Amino acid sequence: MNGRSPALGQYYPAKSPVHALDPRVKLFLTALVVIGIFFVHDMALLLAAAMLILVLASAARLPYRWLAGGLRPLLFILVFTFFIHVFFTPGEVLFGLGPVTATFSGLRNGIFYSLRLTLVILFSSFITGTTTPVQLTEAIESIMSPLKRFRFPAHEIALMMTIALRFVPTLLAETETIIKAQKARGADFESGHILRRARSFVPLLIPLFVSAFRRADELALAMEARGYTGGEGRTRMRVLKVGTADIVWLAAGVVVVAALVGASWVI
């Protein structure tokens, strides 16, 4: 695969130490890092976490451009987060724009919280970029397996979560295709007031929903044709096992997150 920008949740096949890790360890480390970032209150430490992303990307052999491309679908949320802090945080006035004013505190908070959200997205993308959907299913089911004694459908829940994650890049790519097709037919998604723009998306949503239901029906037929009847009695070709490398990465991750959070409270 080349270094093109990915769709959100897309897997990047490569041979690396990160790809080889137990998916349960990667899930735990991802959750630990994401939670830890929300406890970091210093800009310098957030920048240190950003440097950590570069190190992890090199270890996972994920191209930087490919990794950053995953931010594109969420760019609106990042920009919205930035401006909502700039214009709605009280403090010393930076400049005025009609009835609202931007403040120095808002600018600082906008940069900080936008960077925090960006780091959360990038760290989360490592789990989908280095773990196949099958491995994710096995990891989630393994983590939830103790609940099976209470008749909790661990396998079915894990399968649904993985299928939903798997179809995110497919639906995003199909949305882009439909938008281009509608624009070629003269559709306008950008001009006019907000209500007109909302109505202009109706020709986009209808074929997208039709395509999503068609894909769901095809998937159900394919699973039924292959004899899928649920998780009861299923065997696995690859049994998950935590190795020495997994323990080393787990310990290193805990130490790094603890250092970031601890330093944030000390500073």
pLDDT by residue (tens digit) across 163-195? 877 777 777 778 888 888 877 877 766 666 666
Q: Which of 125, 137, 131 is nearest to 163 (CA)?
A: 137
More confident residue, 158 or 198: 158
* Domain ranges for the chain: 1-131+237-267, 160-234
More confident residue, 60 or 156: 60
pLDDT, residue 116, reads 92
Residue pLDDT, tens place only, 30-63: 999 999 999 988 889 989 999 999 999 999 998 8
Q: Band of the pLDDT at 231, cuts 50, 70, 90?
A: low
Q: Is the pLDDT of residue 6 over 50?
A: yes
Of the ranges 136-140, 174-178, 229-233, which one carries the lowest mean pLDDT score? 229-233
The segment with the largest mean pLDDT, out of 100-114, 139-153, 194-208, 225-239, is 100-114
Kindly state the greatest CA–CA separation across the chain: 66
9 dihedral zone (left: phi>0; alpha: psi -120 to 50; beta) = left
DSSP class of 42 = -
